[in-house]
Amino acid sequence: MEDLRKKISELDYEILNSLAKRRELSREVIERKDKTGLPLRDKNREKELLQKLIEEGKILGLEPTYITKIFQTIIEDSVRLQQTYLHKLGDGDTLEKNEVRVAIQGIIGSFSSLAARRFFSNRGSELIFVSKMSFDEVVKAVEEQEADFAMLPVENTNSGNINDVYDALVKSSVSIIGEEKLRVKQNLIGISEIDPISITKIYAHPQAAAQCSKFLETIPNAVIEHVSDTALSVQKIKEEGNPKYAAIASEQAAESFGVVVLKEDISNRTENYTRFLIAARKPVAVDERIPAKTSLVIATAQKPGALVEALMFFNKYGINMTKIQSRPIPGNPWEEMFYIDFEGNVADEKTALMLDELGRNSRYFKVFGSYPANEIDKTVLPPTDVSSLPETGFIPEEETVALPVISVKREGSAHRFAGREYKSDDTIIEVKGVQIGGGSFTIIGGPGSVESKEQILNCAKELKKQNGHILFGGCFEPKTSPYAQTGLGYEGLSYLQEAGMVYELPVATEIFSVNQVEQVAQYADILHIGAVNMQNFPLLIEVGKTHRPVLLKRGLMASIDELLNAAEYILAQGNRQVILCERGVRTSDGTTRNTLDLSAIPILKELTHLPVIVDPTHAVTEAEKIIPLAKATKVVGANGVFVEFHPEPLNTHSDSKRQMSFKQFGKMMKELNRLH
C-alpha cells in the first residue's frame, strides 16, 4: 500500500508541476496578446481542444464528465490570470507594488478579508488590512488615501442586499474597479467543545444571523447579540472566556484566535455566496477584450411609467441588465433611487450611447464604474458534438440572436452634461409639485436672512398669498463686514423648514461649506450656491452627490462659460437637477450694485437645457427698481425670478434698501401676471 501511495503522490507532484508550467505559458500568451491586440479567448479552439481531450480520454478509460470538469477549471484559472494581467488597477498598479492597503469593515479573519485575499491573489503583493467599524469609514479611508482599495459586500444569496454599502457608495466619490464572489461558510464557534444546546449567548453579525436563522432556532435558550463583524464575534468569545458563549464566523477566524468549530456550515442554504465590490479613488479602464459589468444609480422623474421608460433604453440597445435594487432617497419620503448592474463596458460605444440616453432622462444619475465580470463562461460543446458522446453532462450554450448596434453621432462639447448637444429638450425640475423649467415661470422669494420664527412665517404667508412658489431664507448669510449679522444658522433653518410645511411651500437656503451639505439637505428642498461660491469646486462636488436640486448663481465676474463649467462639476457627480441663476456681474459702472446681464438669458437658453432664472435683487440699490427688472426677466425668456422681500425692510439688519416690502412684492406679482 505504501508503494502505491508513493506512486500516486509522485503523479500528483507531476500534475502540480505541469499545471505550474501551463500557467507560465498562459502568462507568455497574454503578453503576446497584449502586444498584438488579439482576443483574450478563442472559444472555437477551446471547443476543439475539449473534443480531442474527450476522445483521447475515452481511449484511456476516462469519463467525459471528469475530463470536462478538469478542463473547465484549468481554462477558468488561465482566463482569470490573463484578465488580471490586462486589468491594471490605476497608477502604481498592484503588480508593481510590494504592499497594497485594503480597507475592510471588521478585522482580519472576516469574510471581507478572505474575499480580498482571493481577489488580489494573482497580483503578487502583500495585503495590509485597514480595519474600520462601518462601511462609511471604509469608503472614507480610500477617499482620504489611508487605503488603496475598499472591500464592500453588497449582496448575499441568503440574506439579500446590504443596504448600508449602497448608502455609503452613493455619498462617496470612489469608483468600482472589480468584483469578487465568495462562498460563505458560516460556522458555530466556541472556546472549547460543548453541546450547542447548552449555549446561552451567540455573538453574530446581523447578516450572519439572518443567513443561519434556521439553525439558531434549534438553540432556543441562546440570546443573539449583534456585533459589527464576524471575526470580531470570535474575538469577543475569546476575550470573555465563557464556554457557554459562541460566535458565528469563518473557520479562518476560529484558527486565528485559537478556538474550535462546534458545528460546520450552519447556513440556511449550503450555496451561500456573498458578492463583494472593490472600490478605488479613481476609475480604471477595462480592456474591451474582458467581459465587463457596469454599476450605476439613477433617480427617475416622479411620474407614472418613468422607471419603465428608463429601463426601455436597455432593451433599445440590447444590453442585459443583471440587477436592479431600489432604495429610499434620504429626505424624500416615498421616493426611490435604483441601483442597476448590467453587462457592458463604458468604453464600448453601444454602452456609452445607452448611458447618454439614460442620463438625459434621469434627475439623478451616477455611474460607479465598469469592471471585469467575476463569472467566467465555461467551455462547452454544442449539442451536435455531444450526441456521439456518452453521459457527458454538458450544458449546451444558449443560442443568441445578434441585436443591431445602434449608431448615433456623438457631438463633442466643452460642457459634457450641461450642453444642448447632450440633451436637446429642456430639463424640468420638480420640487414638491412646483415645476422649474420648460414653459413655467417660477417665483422664488423670501428674506435675505431668517431673523425669527415669526418673521419667516409671515414671509411664507405672504408668498403663498401672492401665489409664489418657493420660499427662500438665508440662514448662514455671510456679509461683507465681519461684524454684520450672519443669520441664525441651524435654528433659522428649522424655522424655515417649519414655515414651508405650514404653508406647503418648498424651501431653499444658501450653503457655504462642504461640511454643511449633508445636514442642510435634511431641511432644505433646494440648495443655493451663492455667487461667491460659484467656483468653490469641493462644495460643487459635494452638492453634486446629493439628491437635492441646486440653484447655482453666476459669480461676481464670471463668464457664461465659467458658469456652465461650474454646473458641470455638479452634474458630473450625478445630480442632474441644476438651476442656473443670473444675478448681475461687477463692472466699472458705479450707478448700479451689479450690472444685470439679461442678454445672458437667451444665450444660456441656446447653450444649455438647464432652467435659467434671474435674481434682480443684487443688481439694484433700491427695492422699487426690482419690479421693472423682474418684468424684463419674464419677457426675455427666463424660467423664473428670485427676489428678496421682508415684512419690515427698514428694520432689518440685512440689506434693507434692496429688500422689497410686502406691498412692493404684491405689486411685482400683479405686474408679472399681466405679462403673457
Determine the Cα–Cα distance for residues 321 and 343; give it in Å rounded to an integer.
6
pLDDT at 481: 52
Do 617 and 642 contact (CB within 8 A), yes or no? yes
Q: How far apart are the first and last CA of the chain?
A: 101
User: What CATH architecture does domain 429-478+485-674 belong to?
Assistant: Alpha-Beta Barrel (3.20)
CATH 3.40.190.10 is held by the domain 187-266: yes
Q: pLDDT (tens digit, 9 = 90+) per residue, 182-199?
A: 988 999 999 999 999 999
Instruction: Decide if pLDDT at 555 tops 70.
Output: yes
**How confident is the model over 312-335, as a mean pLDDT?**
87
Cα angle at 296 between 529 and 177, to 5 degrees? 105
Q: What is the pTM of this model?
A: 0.75
pLDDT at 554: 95
Residue 258 makes CB contacts below 8 A (sequence gap 6+) with 238
User: What CATH architecture does domain 2-86 belong to?
Assistant: Up-down Bundle (1.20)
Do 594 and 584 contact (CB within 8 A), yes or no? yes
pLDDT at 402: 38
pLDDT at 98: 75
Average pLDDT, the chain: 87
Q: pLDDT (tens digit, 9 = 90+) per residue, 349-407?
A: 999 999 999 998 899 999 999 999 988 888 777 654 444 444 444 334 433 333 333 33
pLDDT at 123: 78
Q: What percent of the chain has pLDDT over 90?
A: 58
Cell of 143: 477617499
**How confident is the model over 86-101, as a mean pLDDT?**
67
Q: pLDDT (tens digit, 9 = 90+) per residue, 426-484?
A: 999 999 989 999 889 999 999 999 999 999 999 999 999 999 999 999 998 655 555 45
Residue 18 makes CB contacts below 8 A (sequence gap 6+) with none
Among 611, 237, 177, 302, residue whose Cα is nearest residue 436: 611
Determine the Cα–Cα distance for residues 451 and 463; give it in Å rounded to an integer.
17
Domain 429-478+485-674 in the same topology as domain 187-266: no
pLDDT at 653: 59
Residue 442 makes CB contacts below 8 A (sequence gap 6+) with 434, 435, 436, 469, 470, 611, 613, 639, 640, 641
What DSSP string runs through 182-215?
Answer: EE---EEEESS---GGG--EEEE-HHHHHHTHHH
Instruction: Decide if pLDDT at 408 tops 70.
Output: no
- pLDDT band at residue 161 using 50, 70 and 90 as cut-offs: confident
Sequence ranges of the domains in the chain: 2-86, 187-266, 429-478+485-674
276 is catalytic: yes
Active-site residue identified among 84, 94, 274, 294: 274
**How confident is the model over 124-143, as a mean pLDDT?**
92
Buried b (16+ CB within 10 A) or exposed e, 632-665: bbbebebbbbbbbbbbebeebebbeebbbbbebb
β 223-226/126-132 pair status: unpaired
- pLDDT band at residue 95 using 50, 70 and 90 as cut-offs: very low
94 is catalytic: no
Active-site residue identified among 71, 276, 365, 472: 276
Q: pLDDT (tens digit, 9 = 90+) per residue, 502-526?
A: 999 999 999 999 999 989 998 999 9
Q: Which of 406-420, 566-580, 597-611 has the lowest mean pLDDT?
A: 406-420
Among 119, 170, 171, residue whose Cα is nearest residue 148: 119
Which of 333-342, 347-356, 648-657 has the largest mean confidence?
347-356
pLDDT at 385: 45
**416 compared with 645, residue with greater pLDDT:** 645
